[in-house]
Structures are given as C-alpha cells and as structure tokens.
Amino acid sequence: MHVAEAGTGPLVLLLHGFPELWYSWRHQLPVLAAAGYHAVAPDLRGHGRTQAPVDVEDYGMAAHVADAVGVLDALGESTAVLVGHDWGASTAWAAAELHPERFTAVAAPSVPDRPRSPRPPLTELRSFAGDRFNWMLYFQEPGVAEADLSADVARTMRLMMYGLSGDAGDTGVRMVTGLPRDAVLLDQMPEPEAPAAWLTETDLAYYVDEYERTGFTGGLNRYRNADLDWELLPELGTGVIAQPALFVGGDLDTAVRFADPNRMRNHIPNLTGPIVLPGAGHWIQQERSDEVNHALLTFLRTVD
C-alpha cells in the first residue's frame, strides 16, 4: 500500500473515493500536519501505486475496512480519526461502526451514512432507476465501463471532475435523474470552458498519468461488491455510531440532495453538522479546501 503522509501527532487517516487517489487530500495533508496531526492518505487497493488484487470479491467493504485497520497496525497506532470521501466515506462509516475501539471519531465529506436497506442495494437501485440511466448499474458489468473510461483518460477525468463539481451547476442532478437507460455517460457531461480554479492542469495531469497506467478496474470493482457487502455484513447499518462524527457536503452534490444528511442523527447521536456549503459539488475537499479544512480542524479540536 502506497501512502502519502505529513506531520507528527495523533493519527488522522484520509480515505479517497472514485475516480480519485491520495492526491485528492493534497490540500488537507499540510494543514493537518501544521496543526499537530499525523495525516496519512493511502492510495486504496486497486488505485494508484497500491497493489491491485485480481478478483472482484477482493474489493468488498470488509477488505477495505481491514485495510484501514491494517494501516493503523503498520504505523503502530491503536486509534485514529478516520476521514473519508465518496466510497472512502462509506468505508469510514463502516469502519467506525465495526471497529469503534480503533476509530475514535469519523468525518465524511460528501456521502452521508445510510441505514441498511431492506433489499439488496442493486434491487433497490433498479426499482429507483426504472428506465433511467444509473451509475451503479452501469458500473456492474466487468469491461463495459472500463472500455468507456479508458478510451481517453484525459477526457474522462476532465469531464467527471467538472461534471460533478459545483462549477457545473445542476449537471450532476440531470445525470442522476434525467438520462435514458442506454445513455453513454461521458457523452452527457459538458466540457468545461476553462480549467477550474480548484483543479489545475498539473492536478489533472497527476490523475491522468496514474489512471492511464492502472486503468479503472480497481475503483469499479468496489461498486461491483454492493450486493455481496449486503450479504456478508448483515450487521452493517443496523447499529449506532456513538463516536463524535462530522458531515460536510455541498448543496449541489447529488449524494447530499438524494440522501438527507439530517436523518443521520437517528443513529449518529454525536453528529456535528451537517454542514452544507452553498455552490459546492461532489469533490468538496478539493473544491472548497479552506472551508473543509476549517471544519475538520474545528472538529478535531473538539475530539481532542
């Protein structure tokens, strides 16, 4: 496992999402270090410079939670504060629920925690989607999304980063609710008129170089375990997360719009927030790094 780290002090473990890398935390690492924390951001399994298992089943939630625990063990730490974005947020919530003795607090930009669904997640999604396009369902068939996303990695990263950001306005909502089932995902995303202030050409090039080398299968295999996770971890999403918790989201993020984060209070009694930033999209710790850093540091001080 490849990790980027900065600083010394109490451990803060940062888990990225898809299609991201440790690099999505580039604005948080130095700030956390300067505040007296040991900030560690790994490339998750199958991403960047971390080993990529071959089997789809090796990308399930149990494996990702075990990786998070394994980082603590490798660093000789008994506990950490866990911060996750996108799929990393889902892993952070799961790890906090399954291993409260190791993760003393949890923060999740963008993706709220959700209770266990009554039916397997893909069944729920097919019912929700009907005759509309759905990302999760599109990602299920091995090889299909890989071919689309890998055809032009620079275009893929440019469109996905822009299309789900606050810069694109309601584009993300249209892609979730307004596309026909047979839509070609990238063809529905608008081209940015200019480089984003939060994502320079150098930033974009880092992502492009890494995904051109590795492909997208590692990240896509995470989606392909949704139903298996539901079967193998029946306790997940059924208990209370008692640790201090923080949620920060953007009001233009579809993950916030379609899952009211206020409902988390029912099973996360020590929740700070939800903090919802106007005009922010899905890549919130990159788009609005100053505000996210302020929220994280304020939260960490209360945990200390």
The residue from 38, 47, 85, 86 that is catalytic is: 86
Residue 142, preceding bond cis, omega within 30 degrees? no
Please list, residue by residue across 129-144, b when 16 or more beta carbons sit within 10 angstroms of its beta carbon and e when fewer do.
beeebbebbbbbeeee
Could you count the other beta carbons within 10 Å of the beta carbon of residue 38? 18
Q: Is 51 exposed, middle or buried (0-12, 13-18, 19+ CB in 10 A)?
A: exposed
State yes or no: is 282 an active-site residue: yes
E strands along 67-128, which residues? 80-84, 103-109
Task: List the one residue out of 129, 139, 125, 142 whose CA is nearest residue 179.
Answer: 129
Task: List the one residue out of 2, 9, 6, 4 whose CA is nearest residue 31.
Answer: 6
The residue from 16, 38, 47, 282 that is catalytic is: 282
Residues with catalytic roles: 86, 282
